Amino acid sequence: MLKNKAFSRQTKQGRVIKEVREHYLRDDIYCGAPYCKSCNVSSARLSASPSTILVLDTNVVLNQIDLLENPAIDNVVVLSVVLAEVKNKNIAVYNRLRALCSNSLRKFFVFSNEYHKDTYVNAMAGESPNDRNDRAIRTAAKWYQGHLESASILLITNDRENKKKAIEEGISAETIECYVKSLGQPELLDLIVQPPSEDVNMDDVEDLRPSKRKVIYSEHKPMSEITSGLLRGLLHQGKLRVNRFNPFEAYVGSESIGDEIIIYGRANMNRAFDGDIVAVELLPQEQWHEEKSLALADEDDDEEDVHLAPNSADDAPRVMNQGQTAPEEMKPSRPTGRVVGIIKRNWHSYCGSLEPMPMPAGDGGRAQALFVSKDRRIPKIRIQTRQLGNLLDKRIVVAVDSWDRLSRYPTGHYVRTIGEIGDRDTETEVVLIENDINTRPFSAQVLACLPPLPWSVSSQDLTNPIRQDLRHLRVCSVDPPGCKDIDDALHCMPLSNGNFEVGVHIADVTNFVHPGTPLDDEASQRGTSVYLVERRIDMLPKPLTEDICSLRADVERLAFSVIWEMTPDAEIISTKYTKSVIKSCAALSYVEAQARMDDSRLVDPITSDLRNLNGLAKIMRQRRIDRGALTLASAEVKFQIDTETHDPLDIGMYQIREANQMVEEFMLAANVAVAEKILKHFPPCALLRRHPSPTKEMLEPLLRTAEAVGLSLDVTSSKALADSLDRAKGDDPYFNKLIRILATRCMTQAVYFCSGDLSPPEYLHYGLASPLYTHFTSPIRRYADVIVHRLLAASLGIYKLPGVFQDRPKLTSISDNLNYRHRNAQMASRASIELHTLIFFRKRPTDTEARIVKIRSNGFIVFVPKYGIEGPVYVTSKGDNGGEWLVDEKQQKIRKLDGSASYGVLGTVRIHMEVVEPQPNRPKLQLTLV
Amino acid sequence: MMRGIQLSFSNTQKLRLEKALAQLESLSSKVNSNATVIVADTIPVDEDAALKGHGTLEMDKNVVATVCGVVERVNKLVYVRSFRARYKPEIGDIIVGRVIEVAQKRWRLEINFSQDAVLMLSSMNLPDGIQRRRTAIDELNMRSIFVESDVICAEVRGFQHDGSLHLQARSQKYGKLERGKLLKIPPYLVKRRKQHFHHLDQYGVDLIFGCNGFIWVGEHVEVKDAMLEDQVNKSDPQNTQSASLLGSSEEPTYTPLEIRQYICRIANAITVFSALGFMVNLEAVMETVTLSLSLNLGVHEMLEAEFHVRVAEQEAERRSTSTRRK
Amino acid sequence: MEYVNPEGLRLDGRRPMEMRQLRAEIGVLSRADGSASFEMGNTKVIAAVYGPREVQNRSQQMNDQALVRCEYSMANFSTGDRRRKTKADRRSTEISLVIHQTMEACILTHLMPRSQIDIYVQVLQADGGTRSACINAATLALADAGIPMRDLVTSCSAGYLNSTPLLDLNYLEDSAGGADVTVGILPKLDKVTLLQMDAKLPMDIFENVMQLAVEGCKAVESHIREILLENAKTLGNRRGV
């Protein structure tokens, strides 16, 4: 099997190191055509009958990956030399190409030409690597031509030289444009990326606006200069993050400075996108702090939309020293810079719509259009399309191709249409795509991992020594109404000695999801279930989520239990962890549970259990608060959805009852208990959750607002903050809650991490004031809990620890993915709520009460408690620079000059809410003063 | 495979060599090649009662080889004769060795065995030839007989109780070897024969095939008549001592150039032969020498590639004629 | 890093269960009693055996068995960067010991009392799997020296990268940081004489990887046997009767 034709290749790596590597050439690499007589066809993927086989060159793959993803392009041979080149140049495109190659619906075959004895080519003296690779591609194409005589081989290349040589060598070759044209599907032409150098298409129309043909951006420095600049400390490298709420402001976290560098304005950003790795040059110190003038220099409308009130600092706009009127006491504390080069692009495809424009005269031809991304961080993108009329009212996906310095906007191409703007399904899909949420149905391999249905507890499960039979216990679950994925249940049993036995029973998901299976891989990729207003995207397939794992009433289910013995004062005497079999006797909703507890006439066993639990929970909660846990508040809202149209019928604040807090309390206790256990057994590889303490800067807006209303908050510790929040009592009942909401949004979000990556003091969960915390109680909908279940099982000696826990980098990347997915899921559900809020108000203009949370120069930002939304109210019309209004930054007040009206922060105003459509197909919610 | 020589063969020479070697291969008996075993090969034995000799080991009721070599069977005895091993002494073997140490009452000799061999002062004839107890004076005079790096010819006397190997040199034909060249070849290329001492009259050269693979090529020395010498020695022991010490001063002070050339020629013939892995014996050596002379080759030219090829061809020819004769 | 691509090929074009090309030569040194060179792909080592011979240090002499000594070294030119190495660094000492123990276990030392056997192995070119190559070369050299052995010892390594067991890691794969299992076996006796692993592996995976390495050892064995047999036949044929 081994073709013994070894030879050496020498490479130089930086220093003069000679590397000699073996390279075996084989004769068992097959062509992939099912009709081939000389090859093994077991892994053949090309079309069953001889037809045109496409061989692509590297640049075609790099530039036209969107086109390749279109099913019209098929029967393609991907050469390993192309794969290697693509991988070096753009890992994202490589991954997409790999996905195509492994997609069973597509006929993409990878041919390892570099390892085939007949298609390997040795670099000739003086030949550049590029030329050598081009030659390798031609050699492989030629080999295919000779090997599969019945099929025609077509080499697709946009490189003129390569095409010419190929034709000379007797290989048929075409440019991608010609090939696509020959397919006779004009809409495919939109997918073709126009090469920036206009190498091939000479018939392209000249740019219609010659005035724009001037240099707008400064040139990027060459890589060599950037490298030396970085070395000498003149330049700084970092990832560019654009302010979510102000696309003209970006930050580059630089390690060399140890601080963030702020970049104001598109000119200084110099064509960098969010997520790009850039090289930044610091501006001279006197130019720091000039955001205002720059921000206004761009002509884009910078109106703020109404949006959902943020829940944490991560969601909130990062507003720095908003007071431009602030006197010199505010020193320019943060360095400002400009981008001089882009080290690595983070371009991918974006969702959005075309900017409204009149139809060009000659319809059907090629038209230029501007694309506006849903993500405000992304600049407008110029695209060419032949189907302008069709696309104007659609949500579309667009990919970026290039951005030269003559053009204000980057150039891109159309990828696909999602649906009509404003349509609920379309917008929901946009939300999902924007947040990188996988909504594809589970694959057959994943579903194959499920136990056969209908599933029930078997006798093996009952006799298994690792599992305790707890079916005799009176277990019940308390969840939101309509909850189908019940992953936790409780029991409480008075003991003869006056103590209580309290058990938290969590669905035993790891009994069904085994490490290393496709099911596990899929779940680990998805990371979490996503809850949108009208739908749920599950992490695990439906049978597991809603049936096999769900701890429903009156059926036997497998569980992982944490059982405490507690004194009536809720002191934990002992903790026991065990796998178990339980039988829940009631699946209650919060409302039902609350009603039972409140109804003093009921004395049935379940109700008394609930009361006992509630009593214990209250003590535990108080103890936790005394320890310094913050009672934070968020403005969660809840929709009532029409069951048929799925349109929202009503909207209101989510009501938190004692029953919620009771369940929450025991879940927290279980999580803390498990965190302690797994960390004790696996100090280097436990998956924990931490909540970093907020920095002083992050709390700054809260302090400023509090000061304005004459409130002093102590933020030295979570305990101090909790106490001072408790003391903050205003004249109206909602005041305290409002302050808490403002405090909450100053905190960052809690994150998962691997215990080996940080030192123990950093494990702290600030909000819960707990030195250790993890997630154990929702394995059906969170993958972190699945991992923790495995760790706990291993620490009990029930199962051995899966191999992945030995691999620290892998574990870190898993926890990073979990954080990413968790965050995206949250963003998506917020976006979904925003979307439904908009739909709700479309037909219902409403007057309501709102609270001012921030004063601006031309108005203020209000928060509407009833609907949990936040948005700007303008006291002056746009363009009018607020002549008759006076802003008092220090007092956070805005006053009319004539003294007829005055608004202060946290003050109450009445507003009118209405959906308006300033531009066709662009509805937005507008808030105005009544 | 050519051990120890780095030669550059031309293409035709290579072909000729290969051809000759292939011919040799075809000549060697099938039995020989079938009997070849390597480490851990199972040796087929007919009856259970086989005696297991050298190079074998019983393992799970099988007889297994522990060395690479050829299986030999003598009656019930089964053993493996290994190639390329060090010398395995047998009593009575004539060996050539080099003195590496002069110790109390004994000399230590390197003879290509796993230990150094011991030649006791008592196991050798004294220069005066009288059988008597060795005195302290004799012991002090040991260095006058052999010193370090002297080449000696002796006979294997046997193993002592402590496992050491003892030699003896109780004959005039044994003793110090001078004016010649010592060659070391693998012991398996020397066959035990009746005669290991050869006097090549026509060249005036002595040739000693030590069983241990050490071969001596030196100027011919007449074995002195023991009685005659005795008389001389008796009359003037002082003189004899000086004669044996400075013996060369009385006799011709140097070996004639011609003989020296013959010594080298014969030595080179043996070198070539052993390099090719052929069994070394008198006839073969003589033939090779004759060949070199007939080709009019200089002594150093014998070590060149062409001569190796010639020797191989000649050996192939020789063996094929001898088998045909059979 | 992708060490096995989705087509099932490794970086050098082998499949996961394939070994590099083996090459072996016996009798490469004229002065030694036994010598051999052994190549596994670009890893090349040379071994020389001296003895059994008189024990150099009398105090170490044993009256019932032979003394086996082993010295491992790496030529300065054996790696990409020519670093001057100290003669007996910790790594060399460790590998010397490993080879010594492995070889001593198969030599019938009791047949050669009061003598000493020296094994010198030197790495001429290092591309991963030097330990295994050294052991294989030493086996050949010992057989060439005609030293009686219980069995041949052969060795091969296997690793675990990209969730795939890989046979005979080269330097690139070796330095990937995955587990590297070196196994030495006595093929005839079907016994393991050497087992080393750096990094950690779960038990079931380890068993697979080790099994793969054992298969590799057997493949090395059949190659070594072929070489030895051919060598023995040539010697016999040349010598004549």
Residues of C in contact with B164 (CB under 8 A): 114
Q: Which amino acid is at A714?
A: D
Q: A55 near A140, Cβ under 8 Å?
A: yes
Q: Please give, rounded to a whole number of angstroms, the shortest distance from the CA of B188 to a CA of chain C.
A: 8
In angstroms, what separates the C-alpha of C52 from chain A's closest C-alpha? 38
Q: How confident is the model at residue A2 (pLDDT cuts 50, 70, 90)?
A: low
Across all residues in chain B, what is the average pLDDT?
Answer: 84
Instruction: Indicate yes or no: CB of C80 within 8 angstroms of CB of A115.
Output: no
Give the pLDDT of residue A194.
67
Residues A250-297 pLDDT 10s? 888 777 776 778 888 878 888 888 888 888 888 877 766 544 433 333
pLDDT at A609: 87
B152 pLDDT tier (thresholds 50, 70, 90): very high
Verify A-B touch: 3 or more CB pairs within 8 A: no
Instruction: Enter the DSSP assignment of A545.
Output: I
Who among C7, C12, C203 is closest to A24 (CB)?
C12
Separation of first and last alpha carbons in chain A? 84
Q: Does residue B142 carry a pLDDT above 80?
A: yes
pLDDT at A17 over 80: no
Is a pLDDT exceeding 90 seen at residue C139? yes
pLDDT, tens digit, 9 for 90 and up, residues C89-106: 888 999 999 999 999 999
In this prediction, residue B319 carries a pLDDT of: 86
Q: How many CB atoms sit inside 10 A of residue A842's CB?
A: 16
Give me the long-range contacts of C93-97 (CB less than 8 A, separation at least 24): C95/C130, C95/C131, C95/C134, C96/C70, C96/C71, C96/C72, C97/C70
* Residues of chain C positioned with their CB less than 8 A from the CB of A811: none
pLDDT of residue B242: 41
Residue among B221, B178, B179, B228 at smallest CA distance from B197? B221
What pLDDT score was predicted for residue A66?
A: 82
Residue of A12, A18, A22, A807 to mutate, testing the C interface (most C Cβ within 10 Å of its Cβ): A22
Interface contacts A/C by beta carbons within 8 Å: 66
Q: Specify whether the CB–CB gap between A101 and A71 falls below 8 A.
A: no
* Substitution target from C31, C54, C224 for chain B, most B beta carbons within 10 A: C54
B83 vs C27: CB contact, 8 Å cut-off?
Answer: no
Which of B24, B39, B162 shows the shortest C-beta gap to C238?
Answer: B24
Q: Which residue has the higher pLDDT, A362 or A265?
A: A265
* Residue, of A791 and A300, whose pLDDT is higher: A791
Residue C1 has pLDDT above 80, yes or no: no
Residue B155 has φ and ψ, to the nearest 5°, of -125, 145
> Phi-psi bin for A167: left (phi > 0), alpha (psi -120 to 50), beta?
alpha
Nearest chain B Cα distance for residue C205, angstroms: 32
Tell me the residue ranges of DSSP E strands in A330-443. Answer: 337-344, 349-354, 367-373, 381-385, 394-402, 411-420
pLDDT tens profile A658-698: 888 888 889 999 999 999 988 988 888 888 999 888 877 77
- Look up residue A568 and give its two tokens: 């009536």
Asked if B38 lies within 8 A of C30 by C-beta distance, the reply is no
Query: Residues C186-206: pLDDT tens digits?
Result: 999 899 999 999 888 888 889
Give the closest of C30, C33, C228 to B68, CB-based.
C228
Taking the mean position of all CA atoms in its chain, how far away is CA A234? 34
pLDDT at residue A323 is higher than 50: no
pLDDT in tens, A586-610: 888 888 888 888 888 888 888 888 8
Distance, CA of A908 to CA of A890 (rounded, Å): 19
- Give mean pLDDT, residues B158-169: 90
Label residue A882 by pLDDT band (50, 70, 90): low
Pairing mode, strands A108-111 and A76-79: parallel
The confidence score (pLDDT) of residue B4 equals 54
Cα A630 to the chain's mean position, in Å? 27
Query: How many secondary structure helices (H) and strands (E) does chain B include?
Result: 10, 17
Query: Is the pLDDT reported for residue A197 higher than 50?
Result: no
**Does A24 sit within 8 Å of C14, measured CB to CB?**
yes
Chains in touch with C (3+ beta-carbon pairs under 8 Å) read A, B
Residue of chain C minimizing CA distance to B54: C148
* pLDDT of the residue at A634: 67
Calculate how close chain A gets to C99, using CA atoms only, in Å: 26
Half-sphere exposure of residue B241, counting CA atoms within 13 Å on the CB side?
Answer: 8
With an 8 Å Cβ cutoff, the interface of chain C facing chain A consists of 5-7, 9, 11-15, 18-21, 41-42, 80-81, 125, 127, 170, 172, 200-203, 205
Is the omega angle on the peptide bond into residue A454 within 30 degrees of 0, that is, cis? Answer: yes
Q: What is the pLDDT of residue B267?
A: 94
Q: Which of chain B's residues have a Cβ under 8 Å away from the Cβ of C232? A: 36-38, 68-70, 83
Q: What is the pLDDT of residues A383-436, one digit of tens each?
A: 888 777 778 778 888 888 888 777 788 888 888 888 888 788 888 888 888 888
Instruction: Verify whether the Cβ–Cβ distance A26 to C13 is below 8 Å.
Output: yes
Contacts of B169 (CB under 8 A, 6+ apart): B119, B123, B124, B125, B152, B153, B154, B155, B175
- Residue A306's pLDDT is 64
pLDDT at A151 over 70: yes
**How many other C-beta atoms can be found within 10 angstroms of the C-beta atom of residue A901?**
12
- The confidence band for A152, taking pLDDT boundaries of 50, 70 and 90, is confident
What would the DSSP string read from start to end of A565-628? EE-TT--EEEEEEEEEEEEEEEEEEHHHHHHHHH-TT---HHHHHHHHHHHHHHHHHHHHHHHT
| Both tokens assigned to C226 | 């072929």
Reduce the DSSP state of residue A89 to 3 states and report it: helix
Q: Name which of A152-156, A168-172, A913-917 the model is least confident about.
A: A913-917
Residue B51's pLDDT band, with cuts at 50, 70 and 90, is confident
DSSP secondary-structure letter at B160?
A: -
Question: Between these two residues, A191 and A87, which has the higher pLDDT value?
Answer: A87
Q: Which residues on chain C are in Cβ contact (under 8 Å) with B57?
A: 108, 148, 150
Model confidence at A313, in pLDDT bands (50, 70, 90)?
low
Range from A320-329, A420-429, B45-54, C113-122 that averages highest in pLDDT:
C113-122
**Chain C partners within 8 Å of B58 (Cβ):** none
pTM of the model: 0.68
Contacts of A852 (CB under 8 A, 6+ apart): A860, A861, A862, A863, A903, A904, A905, A906, A907, A908, A909
The secondary structure of B225-276 as a DSSP string is PHHHHHHHHHH-HHHHHHHHHSHHHHS-SS--HHHHHHHHHHHHHHHHHHHT
Residue A529 and residue A539 in contact, taking contact as beta carbons nearer than 8 Å: yes
pLDDT band at B259 (very low <50, low <70, confident <90, very high): very high
Indicate the residue of A2, A21, A110 with minimum beta-carbon distance to C18: A2
Residues of chain C with pLDDT > 90: what percent?
67
**Phi, psi (degrees; rounded to nearest 5) at A137:** -65, -45
C-alpha–C-alpha distance, residues A614 and A607, integer Å: 10
Q: Do residues B190 and B210 make contact, with C-beta atoms less than 8 angstroms apart? A: yes
Amino acid, single-letter form, for residue A860: F
Say how far apart CA A568 and CA A549 lie, in whole Å: 32
Task: Note the pLDDT tens digit of each residue in C37-62.
Answer: 999 998 999 999 998 999 999 899 99
More confident of the two residues B248 and A630: A630
Looking at CA atoms only, how far is residue C87 from chain A in angstroms? 22
pLDDT at A198: 43
Q: A611-621 pLDDT, tens per residue?
A: 888 889 999 88
What mean pLDDT is predicted for residues B21-42?
81
CA-based nearest residue in chain C for residue A115: C13
Closest to A831 (Cα-Cα) out of A379, A276, A302, A351:
A351
Confidence check: pLDDT of A631 > 50 = yes
Q: pLDDT tens digit string along A534-567?
A: 888 889 888 888 888 888 888 889 999 999 999 9
**pLDDT at residue B124 in the model:** 85
CB distance from A20 to chain C under 8 Å?
A: yes
Confidence of residue B94 (pLDDT cuts 50, 70, 90): very high
| Model pLDDT, residue C146 | 92
